Amino acid sequence: MSKRPLSKKPPQTIHALKVSLLAMASFSILIMVWFFPRIPQNPDYHNFADSRLFWGIPNAADVLSNWGFVIVGCLGILTWFRKIKIEAVTDFQKWAYLLVFIGIACIGLGSAHYHLAPNNHSLLWDRLPMSVVFMGLLSIVLGERVSEPIGKTLFVPLLALGAFSVIYWHYTESRGVGDLRLYGVVQFYTLLFIPAIVLLFDHQEPQQKMAFLKMALFYGLAKVCEHFDDQIFAIGQLISGHSLKHLWAALATYFLIEAFEKRPTTLKRTQYT
């Protein structure tokens, strides 16, 4: 009696299951966060370890360390102009990457402005471009590794959600009922989900996969340095954890240029693993 071979699920089914899992996890997080108590901005957040004055610039190290973002953003824009002239780039890739590169440069300017006089009002201009970059990057990863129609469809809604999360926080803070929950989801959701998407939805561009993972790794390192701001500064008082956070985060964004250079030049309507 011959044995019947075990049937395997087709790639389309596996892909659909992964998409469903991602959608359910995303929806669950958005629902669960509203059961948490609101999170106001901690006033001590603005008290950074290194407040030294250099060349007449207050909080100089935290201000000047932001220029890494401006440099990376400009390099990204230059790479974008060079690549679209010689390679096939879909409309979605073209405008999504350009917006993110511009957003990275704006992060440097907004964060430098904030650190000149740290307060809730100036923090708005730090977080606004950050939210645009987070959501723009998420749509790029969705479009290139899950499905271009998904990334393209969610591009504008995700950007709107990111901007709204910051404006909502700022509005509630001005009313004395500050609420960071939605902004927290925007930032930490992308930090967790982008690596998950890259690992779950593999395709024929392993070099781009490594670029995305390195970007997530160095941004995670930046957040660790931010958390240990005072402790790092206490070691010789050379540089603070927050200044290091800027440098590591700028390096993380540099790998987006690598991801752009190693991207798939032709996106299928659906990619299966």
CATH of the domain at 186: 1.20.1070
Question: Over 70: is that where the pLDDT of 5 sits?
Answer: no
pLDDT > 70: what percent of the chain?
89
Cβ atoms of 99 and 80 within 8 Å: the answer is no
Note the pLDDT tens digit of each residue in 37-59.
888 888 888 999 889 988 889 99
Residue 52 falls within a domain, yes or no? no
Residue 118 falls within a domain, yes or no? yes
Residue 269 falls within a domain, yes or no? no
Find where tokens 């407040």 sit.
Answer: 51
What is the extent of the structural domain holding 254?
A: 60-261
DSSP 33-90: GGGSPP-PPPGGGG--S----BTTBTTHHHHHTTHHHHHHHHHHHHHHHHHHHHS---
Residue 173 falls within a domain, yes or no? yes
Higher pLDDT, residue 71 or 40: 71
pLDDT of residue 73: 96
Predicted TM-score of the model (pTM):
0.85
Which range scores top for mean pLDDT: 22-26, 54-58, 108-112? 108-112
pLDDT of residue 87: 65
- Kindly state the tokens that stand for 199: 């690992």
Residue 11 falls within a domain, yes or no? no
Residues linked to residue 57 through DSSP beta bridges, in sequence order: 54
How many independent structural domains does the chain possess?
Answer: 1
Q: With bands split at pLDDT 50, 70 and 90, how would you rate the model's confidence at 204?
A: low
How does the average pLDDT of the chain come out, rounded? 85
Q: With bands split at pLDDT 50, 70 and 90, how would you rate the model's confidence at 269?
A: very low
